[in-house]
Amino acid sequence: MAQHSKLKFILPPVLVVVGLGAMALLIKAKPEVETTERPSPLQLVRVMPVEPQTLRLDVHSQGTVLPRTETVLIPEVAAKVVALAPDFAAGGFFERGAVLVRLDPRDFELAVTQAQAQVAQAEVALTREEAEAAIAIAEWQELERSEAPPPLVRREPQLAQARAAAAAARAALARAELNLERTVLRAPFAGRVRTKTADVGQYVSPGQPLGQIYAIDYVEVRLPIPDDQLAYLKLPMAYRGRSGDPAGTQGPTVTLHSRFAGREFQWSGRIVRTEGEIDPKTRMIHLVARVDDPYARGTDPERPPLAVGMFVQAEIEGRRAEGVVVLPRVALRGGPEGADGERVLVLAETPDTATGEASGTLRFRPVEVLRTPGDLVLIAGGLAPGEKVCVSPLEATIDGMGVRTVEEPPMRLDRTPAEARL
């Protein structure tokens, strides 16, 4: 029993010592692990080669179709409306010289008859005075006097009074005939009726509106343009002593687009002038586009007329620019803080012969940005043909960072036979 108690106290320390010894031998006998540094993988980015293009820098705007001339039809005499033209209704068409409104002419016909009678009386009185003057002169000459007959003998005051009365009567007749003509209201141009405010049986007075009409030989569209985009356009400038382009043949062409009945339609026109001032609120300059014969039926029977009031998108033909590089807008990196201008990342290639992968370093390059239409950027200077530009969005970039690259084809815009267009 005493021996068992001794083992109880001696055995645990012995086991601990043996375990520690065995652990020390295992640690001492373990093989040494060699550590090697593995380089961090380079970031993979997309690059696009630089390929200059020749582009036409069109300018886009929008506006509302307006009539070139609009007027209110107003009578010049007071009378009752006795007839209206069948087309004198909202939306009706008419030709130049067409009778739109007829007023009751009877009072004016009577005034003409009365004025004709007054003219006849005045002419009779004038004839009588001329005859009496001739008789008086003859009697003076029969007296064989050497001096000329005085004005009273020649009845010059009476003749002057008779001539004035005859002239006044003829003027009254002309006024009566003019008022009679004014009972018929004719169209001053070929046009369309916007509104009608009078009807048959209504008594109208001078200055009272009968309706509103506008011309349809051509329409105009006011197009606001920012000042920085005027450099892309060849505009007809107006100076003192001469207008810009009254015939509408010198300005750039304009293509107008609008949706109607779920379809897209277009019309062609030209810029004919710039307006006389810069808008003080928007700092925009307004160009005026003209479209001839907007209500004519075109080759497409379903195409609607370019009606007054229609809202349109405009594409104005711009100048051609050579050597322009087209890139995604994400390629722009912005200049450093406090600096002007924009930058891109240009790849300095260092091909990896071991792996065959394309890689290199990215360098910042300042560029001259021409325009940024939508999600594109047009660069006019700073890049050479064949260089590759990074077009991947990067959160953090430093000059000289190493990357792996995947090349994408260059961006090209739609082309016409002679030029590329935006």
Domain boundaries defined on the chain: 45-53+322-421, 61-67+218-320, 77-213
- Which pLDDT value is given to residue 333? 85
Closest CA to 410 of 319, 324, 320: 324
* 48-60: pLDDT as tens digits: 999 998 888 888 9
Q: Percent of the chain scored above 70 by pLDDT?
A: 83
- Which pLDDT value is given to residue 174? 95
Structure tokens at 51: 């390929």
Question: Where are the strands (E) in 350-387, listed by range?
Answer: 359-371, 376-381
Evaluate the CA torsion angle 172, 173, 174, 180 in order and state its sign: positive
- Which pLDDT value is given to residue 419? 47
- Which pLDDT value is given to residue 261? 84
**CATH match of 77-213 with 2.40.50.100:** yes
* 250-309: pLDDT as tens digits: 789 999 999 988 889 999 999 988 887 888 888 888 999 999 999 988 777 788 899 999
CATH topology of domain 45-53+322-421: 2.40.420
* 176-210: pLDDT as tens digits: 999 999 999 999 999 999 999 999 999 999 999 99
* 148-164: pLDDT as tens digits: 778 787 788 888 898 99
If one counts every other C-beta atom within 10 angstroms of the C-beta of residue 184, the result is 13
In CATH, the architecture of 61-67+218-320 is: Beta Barrel (2.40)
- Which pLDDT value is given to residue 327? 92
Taking the C-alpha atoms of residue 323 and residue 316, their distance in angstroms, rounded to an integer, is: 21
Q: Report residue 40: phi and psi, to 5°.
A: -70, 140
Instruction: Give the contacts of 13 (CB within 8 A, at least 6 positions apart).
Output: none
- Which pLDDT value is given to residue 1? 53
